[in-house]
Structure 1
Amino acid sequence: MVVFALLIGLLYALPNVFGEDPAIQISGARGASVDMATLDKVTEQLNQDKLSYKSVAFENGAILVRFQDTETQISARDLMNQSLGDNYVVALNLAPSTPAWLESLGASPMKLGLDLRGGVHFLMEVDMDAAMDKLLGQQEDTFRTELREARIRYRAISVKDNGVEIRLRNDEQVQEAKRTLSASHPDMLFAEGSGFALTASFTEARMQEIRNYAVAQNITILRNRVNELGVAEPLVQRQGANRIVVELPGVQDTARAKEILGATATLEFREVDTNVDLAAAAAGRVPPGSEVKTSRDGNPVVLKKRVILEGSHITDSTSSNDEYGRPQVNIKLDSEGGNKMTAFSRNNVGKLMATLFIEYKDSGKRSPAGKVILEKHEEVINQATIQTALGRDFRITGIDSQAEAHNLALLLRAGALIAPISIVEERTIGPSMGQQNIDMGIQACIWGMVAVMLFTLLYYRKFGLVANLALAMNLVLIIGVMSMIPGATMTLPGIAGIVLTVGMAVDANVLIFERIREELRDGRSPQQAIQQGYANAFSTIADANITTLITAIILFAVGTGAIKGFAVTLSIGILTSMFTAIVGTRMLVNLMYGGKRIDKLSI
C-alpha cells in the first residue's frame, strides 16, 4: 500500500520537474478569428526576424508559441503586435512543458498562484448606485403594468430619491394603489405624501439582499467570462462589501487582462421603432417612449425605451449556421425570461428586435469621494426580425460573420453584469519576481529539511534514517496531491505550510521513537518495544494532528487569498505526514527488524 501510494504521488508530482515555457498566446479580438493562415503568418514573421522558438501550435482557438527565454518572448510579443494589428490580442503567458505521455495520464504541474507565477491583479468595485437605479427602473415598469391591470388611473410614475413615486388623482386612488401594490410587493415600504403621492422604497433587509446579490452575480459572471476565454486558474472572489478581486496568474499583459474583463457591460433586447423618420431622429425629434442609439457602423437606430429582456435571463447560447449557411446565435432562457419573451413576441411577429450592448468604461476621472467615474457606451450589435412567437429557445440571425456570431454567443453565454464595475487598482507581478519567490521557497524547504534530517539522523541513528526517508516520501505526496486536486493553487504562504508540515511530520516520529525508548528502558524486548511504541503513540499523534487539521479547515473556510493557500497545504501536509510518519515508517522498520531475533535497536 505504501509503495503504491508513493508511486502514484511520484507520478503526479513528476510534471513539476519539467517547469513551464515562456510563451505568447494569439487570439482574435472582437469580430476577428484565428486560423491556420494566421499561424502561417506568425511562423513566417518569426523566421523572417530570426526569433528562435521551440514550437508553434494551434490550440483551443488560439495560437501558442513557446520560447526558450523571456527575452525572446517579449521581443516576439512586440513583433506580433506590430505585424498583426488591432484585430488580434497578443498575450504573454507561461505554458507547461509536461511530456505527452504524462499528460495522457492526466498528470499536470501544480497550479501556481500570482505571487509565484506572476500575472495581473485587479481590484474592482461594483457600482451599487447603478444597480439600485436599474432595479428601481424595473419596479417602475412593474408598477405601471400592475396599476393598469387593476384599472387604477395615475398621473405619473417616476424614480425619485431611491424610490418610485406614483402620483394619483385623489386620496381614494392612493389607498387603492397602496393596497394593490403592497399585497404583491411585501419587501417594499409605501409612504403617502402630499399632492396625492405614493412613494415606494425597499426595506433595509431587501436593500442588503440587493447589494449582496449584485456582488455575487457579478462574481459569477466575471468568472464565467474569464473561463470562457481560456485564462488558466483565475481567482475571482469578493473583498469587503462591494469589491471583487480578480487575479489572472500567468498573464503578464495588462492590456490582455483588460480585454478579458473589458466587457463590464449589460445586454438588453429592445423593440426597434420603425415608425420614426431616421433623419428626424438624428436631429433629436423622437417620440416620448423611444430613444436614438447607434449601430456598429455608426448609423442611428431608434429603439423603444421599454426593455423586453436583459442578458441575465440567458442560460446558454451557441453559434451555428442556418439552413442557408448563414451565421446565427441560438439562445436559451430561464423560465422567467422565457415568459417575458413569449408575452412580447406573440404580439410582435414581423417586427424588428435589437440587441443593445451597454458598456461602462473608466473615464479617467474621479468623484470628490474618490470613486471612479464611469462613461456609458451603447451600441446596437444586432437587429433581427421576429419570425414567430418565441419561447425559452430562439435564435438571432442577420449577423455578418461566423466570428461575430461566436463572440456574441460567448458574451451572451457569460451573462450580463447586473451592475457596472470599475477597476480601482491594478497590479502586474512579473515572472522574474515570481521565480525569485519560488527559489526562496525551495531554499527554505531544502534547508529546513536538511536541518531536521541531520538532527534525527544524529539523535536516532537508524531510526533517524527511517524518519528521513518518510520525510522525503511526505514531500513527494504533498506535491503529488497538490498537482492532482483541480482547484488547489500553490502560493508563497502555501510553501510556508509545507515547511511547517516538515517539522510536524518529524514531531510524530519523535513521539514514536521516544515511546520505543521508554519501552526499552522498562525492560521490553526490541520487538515488543517497537509494537508498544507505535500503539501507544498513535492516540497522541492523532489528537495533535486532528486539532491542527480542524484549525486549518476553519482557516480555509473564513480566510481569503494567502490564508487559503496556507490552509490548503497545511491540511494536505497533516494528512500525508500522518500516513508517512505512522504507516510509512512502520513499513520501513518492519523491513529492517521484522521476523528477526535482535538484541539491540539503533535508536
Structure 2
Amino acid sequence: MLQIEPWKRVLIWLTVAAGLLLAMPNLFYPRVEQHNDAMAQIALGLDPATVEGEELWPAWLPSGLVNLGLDLRGGAHLLAEVQVEQVYEARLEAMWPAVRDVLRDERQLFESIRLVETTNEALRVRIGNPEAMPRALELVRGLARPVQTLAGVSGTDLDVRAEGRDVIAVSLSEEEQQATDDRTMAQSLEIVRRRIDEAGTREPTIQRQGGDRILIQVPGVGSAQEVKDLIGTTAQLTFQPVVNRIEGGEAPAPTGSTEVLPSLDEEGVFYILERTPVVTGEQLVDAQPSFNENGQPAVTFRFNPTGARQFGDYTAENIGSLFAIVLDEEVVSAPVIQSHIPGGSGIITGRFTLEESTQLAILLRAGALPAELVFLQEQTIGPDLGEDSIEAGRIACLVAFAAVLIFMALSYGLFGIFANIALIINVALIFGLLSLIGATLTLPGIAGIVLTIGMAVDANVLVFERIREELKTAKGPSRAISLGYEKALSAIVDANITTFITATILFAMGAGPVRGFAITLGLGILTSVFTAIFVTRVLVVMWFEWRRPKTVEV
C-alpha cells in the first residue's frame, strides 16, 4: 500500500537537488558576490584581463544570491514627498499662449486681453468687453483635450469658468489633476531610479507610497546625503538632427561636428547626430500619452515659447528628415518630421501600445524632476548595525532550528528524524527560491524564516498523529502509514492555504519590511507543504521498503 511510482521519486529528488544547488552560492557569499560584480563589469565591455574576481566561482554553477536588504547590509533610507501642486502651476502657465492666441482671433470683440495671475489653482485672464464673456468661454473651452489614462478617456483636462463679469478662470479638472499626479509620480520615480541605477548600487528599493511620497532605500552607500546629491543630478534631454541611422555592426567614430549614440530600445542600432541640439529638455513643458487621428497610441509634447519658435523653424526646413529625441546619451525615439510643426507642440507616432506610449511620455519628461522633492525622513544605517542584525538573525534561526529538531526527535523517534531531514531540506529550498527570484532578505524576512521553521513541522505532526490513531485500530503498519498521509492531507492543505492567503494580502497591501516578511513566509509555506507531503513520505517509504518492519512506533 505504501507505493510511490519511480518517476515521481526521481522528480521529487531532482527538485530537492535543484533547490540545494540554487541555495549553495549563499554559503560562499563574498566569493560569489565578487564573481557577479566582475561578470557585470565584463558585460559592460571591460577587458576580462583587467577585471578581478571572475575566477572566484565556476561559471557553470548557479551564481544567484539572496540580496541583503538595507537593515542587513547598511545604507541609506529616505522618504520623499513630491510637491505635485507645483506641476499644476507650470501646466497652467504653459496654457497662457494658447489662451491668448485663441482670443486674439476675435480681438475686436473682446477689446483687450490681459493676464491677471497664474497660481496652482487657476489661470486668470481679463477681457475688456464683459458682454463678450459667453463667446470667450466658448473659445477657451475649445482648447480642452480628453484626459488619457490606461483605462481610456475620462473627461476633459480643463475647467473653464467666469469669475465676475470680465475674468476667465482656467483650472485643471479633477480628472486631469489625478492624471497629472499619477504622471508626476511616475516621472519622479523614473528619474530617481535612473539616477540611482547609474551609480551602480546593488538592489535599491524605490517605490511609491501613498499619493505623493516615494520610499528610497539604497544599500551599500555611505550616507543619506550621497543619495540626495545623486537624485539632484539633472538628466540631459535634447532634440537633435539625425545625420544617419546605422543598423548592425560596430558604431562608427564620431567627428568634430557629430556624435554617435545608441538606440535605447533597438539593440545594435546607432544614430549619427549633429552635436548641437535644436532644443533641449529645459524647453520642454509637457509630454503626455495620446492618440493620433487613426486612434493609435501616440505621444504629444509641448515646448515653451522659445523652444516652440526654434522647433517650428527647424521642422519647416527639414520635412522628411529624422529628428532624434536623446535622453542621457541614448536615442529614445527618432520620428520622421512629416510636416511643419508650429506652436511648439507636436505628436510622436509609431507602433506603440498604450503602455509603451505612456512609458515614452515618462521618459520624455524624465529630463528633470517635475516638482520639488521634500525629504521627510533621512536615515543612514551603518554596516555595523547590519552585521549585528545578521548575527542576531543567525542566532535566532539556529536556536529555533535546534529546538525544533530536538523536539521532533524526542517526540516521534525515527519518524521525527525523517521530519528533521525534511526540515533541513525545507530551509535550503527557501534560500534556493529566494536566490532564483532575486529577492531581498531583510530582518523581517529572517523573522519569516524563523516562523517557517516552527510551522514547517506542523504538517508532519498532523501526519504522525494520524498514523498513531490508525495504529490503535490494529491495522498493519503499512496500512496505518498510508491512511495517515491520506487523512491528514486535507487538514494540511486547508491550514497552509489560509496562511498563504494571509501572506499574499500582506505582500499586496504592505510595503518594505512587511513585504519582506510576506515573501519568506509565503515561500516557506510552499516549501513546507512540498517537504511534508512528498519528501518525508519518500523517506518513510524508502525506509519501510528496506526494513519491512512488523510494527512501527511513532
Asked whether the two chains share a fold, i.e. TM above 0.5, the reply is yes
Q: 1:593 to 1:333 in 2, by over 3 A?
A: closer
- Other structure's SS at 2:515 match: helix
State the alpha-carbon separation in 2 of the partners of residues 321 and 8 from structure 1.
45
Tell me by how many angstroms 1:256 deviates.
Answer: 4.3
Tell me by how many angstroms 1:200 deviates.
Answer: 1.4
Q: 1:583 to 1:21 in 2, by over 3 A?
A: closer
CA contact (8 A) 1:508 1:581 kept: yes
- Other structure's SS at 2:278 match: strand
Tell me by how many angstroms 1:124 deviates.
Answer: 1.6
1:563 to 488, 506, 514: 514
CA contact (8 A) 1:352 1:386 kept: no
CA contact (8 A) 1:320 1:327 kept: no
CA contact (8 A) 1:549 1:571 kept: yes
State the alpha-carbon separation in 1 of the partners of residues 142 and 320 from structure 2.
29
State the alpha-carbon separation in 2 of the partners of residues 97 and 427 from structure 1.
34
CA contact (8 A) 1:219 1:244 kept: yes
Matches within 5 A, 1:159-238: 159-161=117-119, 162-185=121-144, 186-194=156-164, 196-238=166-208
Q: Which residue of 2 aligns with 1:427?
A: 379
State the alpha-carbon separation in 1 of the partners of residues 389 and 45 from structure 2.
33
Q: Which residue of 2 aligns with 1:100?
A: 57
CA contact (8 A) 2:235 2:366 kept: no
2:80 to 95, 113, 124: 124
Identity %: 39
State the alpha-carbon separation in 1 of the partners of residues 53 and 515 from structure 2.
24
State the alpha-carbon separation in 1 of the partners of residues 252 and 414 from structure 2.
72
Tell me by how many angstroms 1:7 deviates.
Answer: 1.4
Tell me by how many angstroms 1:547 deviates.
Answer: 0.7
Tell me by how many angstroms 1:170 deviates.
Answer: 1.7
Query: Is the counterpart of residue 3 in structure 1 residue 20 in structure 2?
Result: no
Tell me by how many angstroms 1:426 deviates.
Answer: 2.3
- Other structure's SS at 1:537 match: helix
Q: Which residue of 1 aligns with 2:147?
A: none
1:139 to 70, 95, 113: 95
Matches within 5 A, 1:293-308: none
Q: Which residue of 1 aligns with 2:355?
A: none
Tell me by how many angstroms 1:462 deviates.
Answer: 0.3
- Other structure's SS at 1:566 match: helix
String of CA shifts for 1:384-420, please: whole Å, max 9, x gaps.
99595378952489xxxxxx984999x9796433223
User: Aligned letter for 1:439?
Assistant: E
State the alpha-carbon separation in 1 of the partners of residues 138 and 18 from structure 2.
68
2:490 to 536, 539, 547: 539
- 5+ long unaligned stretches in structure 2: 1-10, 145-155, 241-249, 266-275, 284-306, 333-362
CA contact (8 A) 2:115 2:125 kept: yes
State the alpha-carbon separation in 1 of the partners of residues 471 and 321 from structure 2.
77
Q: Which residue of 2 aligns with 1:389?
A: 318
State the alpha-carbon separation in 1 of the partners of residues 33 and 56 from structure 2.
17
User: Aligned letter for 2:408?
Assistant: T
String of CA shifts for 1:118-143, please: whole Å, max 9, x gaps.
11112222122321211112222332
Q: Which residue of 1 aligns with 2:214?
A: 244
Q: 1:7 to 1:390 in 2, by over 3 A?
A: farther
CA contact (8 A) 1:264 1:420 kept: no
Deviates more, 1:205-214 or 1:570-579: 205-214
- Other structure's SS at 2:100 match: helix
Matches within 5 A, 1:358-377: none
State the alpha-carbon separation in 2 of the partners of residues 148 and 538 from structure 1.
79
String of CA shifts for 1:429-463, please: whole Å, max 9, x gaps.
12221111111111111110100110100110000
Tell me by how many angstroms 1:215 deviates.
Answer: 1.9
Q: 1:169 to 1:243 in 2, by over 3 A?
A: same
1:457 to 385, 409, 415: 409
Query: Is the counterpart of residue 509 in structure 1 residue 460 in structure 2?
Result: yes
- TM-score (structure 2 length as normaliser): 0.71
User: Aligned letter for 1:15?
Assistant: P
Tell me by how many angstroms 1:554 deviates.
Answer: 0.6
Q: Which residue of 2 aligns with 1:313?
A: none
Matches within 5 A, 1:84-95: none
State the alpha-carbon separation in 1 of the partners of residues 445 and 255 from structure 2.
56
CA contact (8 A) 2:239 2:324 kept: no
Tell me by how many angstroms 1:240 deviates.
Answer: 3.4
Q: 1:194 to 1:495 in 2, by over 3 A?
A: same
Tell me by how many angstroms 1:492 deviates.
Answer: 0.5
User: Aligned letter for 1:113?
Assistant: G
Tell me by how many angstroms 1:23 deviates.
Answer: 11
CA contact (8 A) 1:552 1:568 kept: yes
Q: 1:503 to 1:355 in 2, by over 3 A?
A: same
CA contact (8 A) 2:238 2:325 kept: no
Tell me by how many angstroms 1:262 deviates.
Answer: 2.1
State the alpha-carbon separation in 2 of the partners of residues 517 and 16 from structure 1.
39
Q: 1:546 to 1:393 in 2, by over 3 A?
A: farther
Q: 1:110 to 1:537 in 2, by over 3 A?
A: same
Tell me by how many angstroms 1:194 deviates.
Answer: 3.6
Query: Is the counterpart of residue 353 in structure 1 residue 353 in structure 2?
Result: no
- Other structure's SS at 1:238 match: strand
User: Aligned letter for 1:491?
Assistant: T
Tell me by how many angstroms 1:508 deviates.
Answer: 0.6
CA contact (8 A) 1:170 1:196 kept: yes
State the alpha-carbon separation in 1 of the partners of residues 55 and 392 from structure 2.
23
CA contact (8 A) 2:324 2:331 kept: no
User: Aligned letter for 2:278?
Assistant: M
User: Aligned letter for 2:391?
Assistant: D
- Other structure's SS at 1:20 match: helix
Tell me by how many angstroms 1:232 deviates.
Answer: 1.8
User: Aligned letter for 1:136?
Assistant: L
String of CA shifts for 1:17-62, please: whole Å, max 9, x gaps.
11237999xxxxxxxxxxxxxxxxxxxxxxxxxxxxx99x877479
CA contact (8 A) 2:126 2:166 kept: yes
State the alpha-carbon separation in 1 of the partners of residues 53 and 440 from structure 2.
15
User: Aligned letter for 2:22?
Assistant: Y
- Other structure's SS at 1:418 match: coil
- Other structure's SS at 2:431 match: helix
Matches within 5 A, 1:385-534: 386=314, 389=318, 393-395=322-324, 406=329, 415-486=367-438, 488-534=439-485
CA contact (8 A) 2:470 2:484 kept: yes
Structure with higher strand content? 1
Q: Which residue of 2 aligns with 1:589?
A: 540
User: Aligned letter for 1:10?
Assistant: L
Tell me by how many angstroms 1:537 deviates.
Answer: 0.3
State the alpha-carbon separation in 2 of the partners of residues 501 and 181 from structure 1.
63
User: Aligned letter for 1:394?
Assistant: F
String of CA shifts for 1:533-564, please: whole Å, max 9, x gaps.
00000000000000110111011001011000
State the alpha-carbon separation in 2 of the partners of residues 392 and 510 from structure 1.
74
State the alpha-carbon separation in 2 of the partners of residues 98 and 589 from structure 1.
42
- Other structure's SS at 1:499 match: helix
- TM-score (structure 1 length as normaliser): 0.66
User: Aligned letter for 1:100?
Assistant: W
Tell me by how many angstroms 1:210 deviates.
Answer: 2.6
String of CA shifts for 1:238-276, please: whole Å, max 9, x gaps.
233322111111223545434431225795879xxxxxx
User: Aligned letter for 1:449?
Assistant: F
- Other structure's SS at 2:519 match: helix
